[in-house]
Amino acid sequence: MSKSQIFHVAPDRLGTRLDRFVEAQLSEQAETETDASSCVSLSRTYIQKLIREGAIAVNGKPSKPGYKLRAGDEVSLILPDPRPLQTIEPEPIPLDILHEDSVLIVLNKPAGMTVHPAGDVQSGTLVNALLNHCESLPGIGGVQRPGIVHRLDKETSGAIVAAKTDFAHRHLSAQFEAHTTTRHYHAVTCGVPPNETGTIDARIVRSSRDRRKMTVTGAGGRHAVTHYHILERYDRFSFLKLTLETGRIHQIRVHLSHIGHPVAGDHVYGGGYDRAVHDAPSPAVKEALAALNRQALHAHTLGFVHPETEEQLTFSAPMPDDMWWFVEELRSVEG
């Protein structure tokens, strides 16, 4: 059955965004609840979805996630019945595990794997594999994305962490929200940026022309910052280390395209075959690029504070063979 709750806004919560207020209220309940089966832990994204659908209201009226709470406000929550978890089937998909303990698991996600089911994609995802591997995962962080704290694009490989407990999920999610995690990526780009190091500070918004894409905007959108360092220069390509200060959808791909150096193989943001193959300095490079058949982007390093031990942990995911082949062929031309 649907679960209903009413929250009264305390004086110290005045001015708080509605979505943050609901998230905090549910987190406090979970931390003090003795019956774990009655705890509710929802991601910020899911809470925002409930607000937009009218399941969370202020003073009995629909509101917006960014509404700032006022004195006397009453927040009501009607939590809809979750979709049965069995609609997401566990699948015995091999996992490249970098680290695992009782509360979290760190993986090297392969390119081509979607992180969680959505739309027509209901199998073959990282969640399907995790449900088969982790007995405690169901229900952690929401029915649709159990255990998932952050995402990588389908065609981006590399390090990703998933939570096994509600506490770990909340703790890790808060770190990503506060941008205190460490995230380094490796990418091959079309062309060579003019400076050895640089910072791309440009706001990102969803494209009005194509809702599947993001774009840089001069006003509005979300604050986004990417730092880059050139590791190697080639003939019309470069190998970069990128550090995320923020973590927006498609951030690295959008930012690099914005400065005129899209990720090689990224047909969505300008680094596709029309440019990359045209610029390839040898038939061997063209062959490696064709075999890659995706954006040359890899999440190399992930660092965060362990939710229970409070130890700073850092993990590195080896770059996959297809991207290494591309890099090696570019190096051979230079040699």
Residues belonging to the active site: 153
Does residue 181 contact residue 302 with C-beta atoms inside 8 Å?
A: yes
Backbone angles phi and psi of 41, in degrees to 5: -125, 115
Task: Tell me if 266 sits within 8 A of 250, measured CB to CB.
Answer: no
8 A C-beta contact, residue 218 and residue 264: no
Cβ distance 113 to 120 under 8 Å?
no
CA distance to 20, 37, 65, per residue, from 46 (Å): 12, 20, 11
> Which H or E run includes 164?
none
What single letter denotes the amino acid at residue 12? D
Quickly count: other Cβ atoms within 10 Å of residue 37's Cβ. Answer: 6
Which helix (H) or strand (E) element contains residue 243?
Answer: strand 237-244
- Listed in sequence order, the residues at least 6 apart from 327 whose beta carbon sits closer than 8 Å to its beta carbon are 188, 232, 239, 319
Radius of gyration, alpha carbons of the chain: 22
Say which DSSP state 11 is in: G
